[in-house]
Amino acid sequence: MKPPIKVKITAIPPRVEYCLTDYGKTLANLTDEMCHWGERHIERQRKAGQKINLLDTQSPFYQKAL
């Protein structure tokens, strides 16, 4: 499997952009469905009156933006 394509952009500040290979793009349906599942899950929590914090800094999945 090929890694994502990395493109260096000459700019100030320097930056790098990544894009998927054609093979990586075959995952689009799967990632779209995962996104829809997440949206439905959030709505289900809201309807149940549960507090939703998508930026929970105590979560092991939380990462600060650089």
pLDDT of residue 61: 57
pLDDT of residue 66: 38
35-39-45-50 Cα dihedral, nearest 10 degrees: 90
Q: In this structure, what are the phi and psi dihedrals at residue 62, rounded to the nearest 5 degrees?
A: -75, 135
CA distances from 26 to 1, 14, 20 (A): 12, 30, 9
Per-residue pLDDT of the chain (66 residues; tens, 9 = 90+): 666 777 777 888 888 888 888 998 999 999 999 989 988 988 888 899 887 777 677 766 565 543
